[in-house]
Each structure stands twice: as structure tokens, then as C-alpha cells.
Structure 1
């Protein structure tokens, strides 16, 4: 079950499933009814609705029911918190790699024989 206390955990848990990522790709093209979202998937409508509920709980999707039609859309800035977290981790690792590159360059220069034969 999703950890209700941390929105970032909920986002990553929602994104961990292939079907939910597929639904988000479909919704990135624009709003769609649950029926339209379910059509290309090899699963029942109730199963698709369960996946959409997880996405909605994570704040990635919003839905609205008008009459008998439930229309879903990606939530504005849905992935911004996850994107910020990933960007911060990327920046940390790039810093590590930059320092490693500097160190390796220093080691290479120290290992290169001097021009005077020593």
C-alpha cells in the first residue's frame, strides 16, 4: 500500500508500475475518458480505474465526472517534486564525477615522466 505520509514516496510508488506510466503517457497528450484510456490496455475497466486511483492519490492525475463519463487529465506540475529530487541527485553525482575527473587528471600528470629524463 502507498505511504500516505510522504508525497514523494507516493509519486515514485505510482510511477513504479508500467501500466500507470502508460496511462500518464496517454494523458500527457491531453485529457481522456477512462474508457479511452482503457481501450489500448489488456485489462478490465475496473483494473484501469484502480491504477488511475493510485495516480490520483499521488497527485499525478485529476479526474472529473460529468454524467456517466469520467475524464482524467494530468495534474499541473504533477511531476515537479520528483523532477526536483532527481535533479538534485543528478547534480550531486555530476559533482562527484567532476572531482573524480580532476583527481584522475592529477594522477595522470604525476605518472607522466618529466621531459628531463627523470
Structure 2
């Protein structure tokens, strides 16, 4: 089953895992050591992150290393950017309106 990037980042534990992996490549056990949940629970989160392409796992000897794939996060960033621009424009317009209202009020007084 191919999972959605937005579904993956909706979970706080998965966001924390991405945060850890953004700093460095870690083994599965190293990732799990940062959490107070079971190793199988972390494995499930890792599986979801892998299915949506946010992380990749590479085998090196007996160890499995997890690496972040920031290309998929760019999709999220691009999607959110349109709303950031929209709200920035709306808030700028509100700021201008309030400034004009305040100036008009000063002229009356």
C-alpha cells in the first residue's frame, strides 16, 4: 500500500523520527533508542515513512541504516507555500486597513 506523505507527517512520533534522521543517518536500533515505545512500534512507523518515500533504508553488513529523503518533504513545503502566500497577503491587507482606520480616527480627534 502506497501511503501519502501528509498521512506520514500527521503523526508526532513520525515527525520526531524525521527530525532525528535530518541530523544524521541512524540504525533502526538507534532510532528506537530515542523513544519510550516498543521496537515493533518504531518499526511500524519506519515502515510507513519508507512506504511514502520520506526515508530510505540501506543494508550495510548486519545493520540497517535509515536516511531521510528530503525530496518528498519538498512536496509538502510546496503545497503549504501557496497557503503561506495567501495568508501573508490577507494579513498585509488587514494591516494596511487597520493603519488607515487608525489615521482616520486620529484626524477626527
- Which ranges of structure 1 fall in alignment gaps of 5 or more residues? 5-9
In structure 2, C-alpha distance between the alignment counterparts of 1:75 and 1:98, rounded to whole Å: 35
Choose 1 or 2 for highest CA Rg: 1
Asked if 1:39 corresponds to 2:33, the answer is yes
Superposition deviation, residue 108 in structure 1:
2.4
Query: Cα 1:100–1:47, aligned 2, differ >3 Å: closer, same or farther?
Result: same
Look up the match of 1:59.
Answer: 53
Aligned residue pairs: how many?
109
Structure with bigger RCO (C-alpha 8 Å, 6+ apart)? 2
> What TM-score do you get using the length of structure 1 for normalisation?
0.78
Which of the pair is proportionally richer in helix?
A: 2
For 2:71, what is the secondary structure of its paired residue? coil
Structure 2's unaligned 5+ residue stretches are none
Residues 11-59 of structure 1: CA deviation (Å, up to 9, x unaligned): 2221121211121121111111101111121122221111011111221
d(CA) in 2 for partners of 1:110, 1:66: 70
Residue 48 of structure 1 is matched in structure 2 by: 42
Q: Secondary structure at the match of 1:103?
A: helix
